Amino acid sequence: MEPFVAPDGDPRCAWAGGAPELLAYHDAEWGFPVGDDTRLFEKICLEGFQSGLSWRTILNKRDAFRSAFAGFDFHAVARFDEPDVERMLADPGIVRHRGKIEAAINNARRAVELEAEAGSLAAYVWRFEPDAGEVGIPQTKTTSATSVALSKDLKKRGWRFVGPTTAFAFIQSMGLINDHQHACKTRAEVDAARQAFTRPG
């Protein structure tokens, strides 16, 4: 897969060339390690909403999703009820899919339970950091042994819309692995960020 040469003349991952907002997301967020519970919960929810859609669609709706879902404060979302579901089904700014909306509310409740058990959502998530050699050639997989294990464990705990492909996209984007292409300028920045990152737990 040939890298994308950005307007600044430096190469990036091929997918970053799809739209200006994708390049900005790629350079500032994708693959950088995250230890904040709210951001982790937001991403796993948005990955679920992305199912069957493009990430560009979800990214362009992210602010609306944040507004609809109380900034992805999972303690607040856990208290949502049927009127909140109906409110969001009427919100043109988000993906109006009842199953995915109800799954996000359910997952917020499961996140509260995980926090009580593990101390934080981040402490739980980072238990699943793969060994360095597991993924191999960047961006040639859509699942991995670790994403299958994470998906299985979350489903056992009652989470929904967290299949192995969704879990792998989550692991990539939240920096549990560095899956930037080797030629990508941002790969070295992510390596440095991962080395400096203090694993929660």
> Where in the chain does DSSP place strands (E)?
4-5, 11-12
Catalytic residue status for 25: yes
Q: Tell me if residue 4 falls in helix, strand or coil.
A: strand
CA angle 26, 73, 86 (to 5 degrees): 100
Q: Tokens 């994403």, residue? A: 147
Task: Select which of 25, 30, 124, 159 is catalytic.
Answer: 25
Using CA atoms, how far residue 175 sits from 59, 102, 145, in Å, is 18, 27, 16
Find out whether 182 is annotated in a ligand binding site. Answer: no
Which residue of the set 15, 30, 55, 159 is catalytic? 55
124 belongs to the catalytic site: no
**Could you say which of 42, 47, 115, 124 is catalytic?**
47
Active site (annotated) includes residue 159: no
Q: Which amino acid is at 77?
A: V
- What CA dihedral angle connects 42, 180, 60 and 64, to 10 degrees? 10
The residues, any chain, with a CB within 8 Å of residue 70's CB and separated by 6 or more, are: 76, 77
Alpha-carbon torsion 63, 112, 116, 122, what sign? negative
The reply, when asked if residue 75 is annotated as ligand binding, is no
Say whether 26 counts as a known binding-site residue: yes
45 known member of a binding site: no
Residue that has been written with the tokens 């299949």 in this structure: 163
**Annotated binding-site positions for Zn(2+):** 13, 26, 180, 184
Return the active site residues. 25, 47, 55
Which residues define the annotated binding site? 13, 26, 180, 184
